[in-house]
Structure 1
Amino acid sequence: MTTVNGTTPYASNVPTAPTAQPETGAEFNSFLQLLTAQLRNQDPLAPLDSTQFVEQLATFSSLEQDVKSNTSLETIAARMDELYAIAASQWIGQTVSVESTWEPFSGNPLPFAVDIPENADTAILSVKDETGKTVWTKELEAGTETFTWNGENQTSEEPSAAGNYKFGVDIYISDEYAGTVAPRVTAG
C-alpha cells in the first residue's frame, strides 16, 4: 500500500479475496512440512523413534480419508433428499395408507385400518403414550377393517393430550397370543 503525505489510504475500499477452505491435499502438504521441520530440529543426541513418524503419518492419512468420506456422504445424503422429494411429488393428491406403530395425535380423531386375520378369535388394540403407559385398549370386531381413536383415555376423565402414541393390535388365535400387527393410517 502506498502512503501520501504520511497517511494511509482508506482500507475498506480495497477488495479482499474470499478465504477458501484448505483442500485435503493442502492439509497433507502442511503435515509433510511439519514433519520435515520436526526432523530438522530434533536433538541429534536423542533422535525421535521412526515408528512415531509412521504412526503420525498413518493417523493423518486416516483423518484425510475420514474427511473425504464425510464429504462423499454429505453429497449422497443431498442426492437422496432430492430423490425422496421427486418420489413424494408423485403422491400429491393421492390417498396413502401407511403401516405404522407410532402416530401423532393432535386432538382430532385418528382414523386407521387393521387387517385382522380371518382365523383370529380376538384382536385387541392398545394405545400407549410416549412413556409406554397404556391409555386405551379395545377389543376390535372381526370383519371390521376401519376404526377411529378420538383420544379416549381409560386412565383419566380427560382426553389424551396431543403427542405421539404407539398403536398395536394383539392377535389371539384359539386363546393363544399369535403376534402384534401395526395399524395402517390413511392420509390424503
Structure 2
Amino acid sequence: MSTVDSATVAQAGTNSASASPATQKFGEEFTSFIKLLTAQVQNQDPLAPMDSTQFVDQLATFSSLEQQVRTNDSLGGISSLIGELHTMFASEWLGEKVTIESSWIPYSGSEIEYQDGAPADADKAYLTVRDPDGELVWTETLNLDEDVHSWNGQTTSGDPADPDTVYEFNIDYYRGAEYLGLSAPQVITTITDVGTENGALRFGTDSHLTADLYSVQKFKAPAGSSEE
C-alpha cells in the first residue's frame, strides 16, 4: 500500500486554504459551466446538433478568465511582498544620517551642514549661495582639508538669511587658475520617514529634502569625530 508524506498533505491543505476568494468563486462557476455544457450535449437534437465551435469558444473564454484570475492573485502576492520589503527598508533607514546631493536647500534657521564633492586634483573651492530670485547672498572660500562645511545663514549684507526659504548652493572648483567645474553640496541630514511614490521608495528628512533610495548615501563621520 502506498503512503503519502504528511508534509505534502499539509502543504496541499495550506495551498487550498490560501486560495483567494476570486479563485474559489471561479472554480465554482467553471464547475457549473461544465455541468450545463454536458447537459446541452446530452439533450441536443441528434438531427440538428449544436455547432461544436461554440463549445470551443466558451471553453476558451473560461480558460482566459481563469488565467486572468490567477494573474491577479500573483500580482496581489507581489504587491504584498513589496510592501513587506518597504517596511524592512523603513526600519533600516529611519533615523539614519545620510548625505543628499542638492543645489536647492531649504533654510529653516538652523545651521546647514554639507560635504563638498571636490575633484581629487582641485586645490580651491568657492561656495556661492543665492536667493530664489538669483541674487547672491553669500560667498566663501572652502577649506578642502575639512570633511564637513556649514552655513549658518550669514549673508554679505550682515542681515540673517530669511528662514523658510529655499536657497541655491553651488561650489566651483579650481586647480590653480584652471576652472574644473561646479557641483552641488552633499547635504548632511537625517531620515525621518519612509514612503512610496509611484511604486518607488522615497525618504523624507529633517532638512525637508526628499530623495529616492538611489540618491542617498549613508554619512561617514570624519575620523576622530564624536559621531564615529
TM-score by length of 1: 0.52
- Letter of the 1:170 partner, please give it: D
Structure 2 distance, partners of 1:85, 1:108, is 31
CA, structure 1 residues 183+87, in 2 after alignment: closer, same or farther (shift >3 Å)? farther
Deviating more after overlay: 82-91 vs 93-102: 82-91
Q: Offset of 1:152 from its aligned partner? A: 0.6
- Shift of residue 121, structure 1, vs aligned partner: 2.4
Aligned to 1:114: 116
The SS at the match of 1:130 is coil
**2:195 counterpart residue number:** none
What residue is the counterpart of 1:159 in the other structure? 160
Partner of 1:187: 189
AA at the equivalent of 1:159: P
C-alpha displacement of 1:174: 2.8
Compared CA separation, residues 126 and 87, structure 1 to 2 (3 A): farther
What CA deviation, in whole Å up to 9, does each residue of 1:59-84 have, x standing for no partner?
xxxxxxxxxxxxxxxxxxxx8xx799
Asked if 1:123 is matched to 2:136, the reply is no
Distance of 1:161 and 1:84 partners within structure 2? 40
User: Runs of 5+ in structure 2 lacking a partner?
Assistant: 1-78, 191-228
Cα distance per residue 1:142-179 (max 9 Å; x no partner): 2212111000100x221110100111100112312111
Quote the RMSD (CA, aligned, Å): 2.2
Contact 1:127 1:135 in 2 (8 A): yes
State whether residues 116 and 143 of structure 1, in contact with CA within 8 Å, keep that contact through their aligned partners in structure 2: no
Partner of 2:104: 102
Residue 125 (structure 1) shift: 0.5
Question: What is the rounded CA distance, in whole Å, between the counterparts of 2:177 and 2:106 in structure 1?
Answer: 32
Identity of matched residues, %:
34
Distance 2:115 2:168 in 1: 15
- Structure 1 residue 116: deviation in Å? 2.0
* Equivalent in the alignment of 1:72: none
Q: How does 1:131-142 map to 2 (within 5 A)?
A: 131-142=133-144
Work out the CA distance in 1 between the residues paired with 2:85 and 2:127.
32
Tell me how far apart the structure 1 counterparts of residues 133 and 86 of structure 2 sit (CA, whole Å): 33
Deviation at 1:129, TM superposition (A): 0.7
* CA shift in 2, pair 1:120/1:159, >3 Å: same
8 Å CA contact retained: 1:123, 1:141: yes
Amino acid at match of 2:159: E
Partner of 1:70: none
Answer yes or no: is 1:175 the counterpart of 2:190. Answer: no
Distance 1:126 1:87 in 2: 39
8 A contact 1:98–1:186 mirrored in 2: yes
Normalised TM-score (structure 2):
0.43
Counterpart CA distance in 1 for 2:175 and 2:113 is: 25
The whole-number CA distance in structure 1 between the counterparts of 2:84 and 2:155 is 40
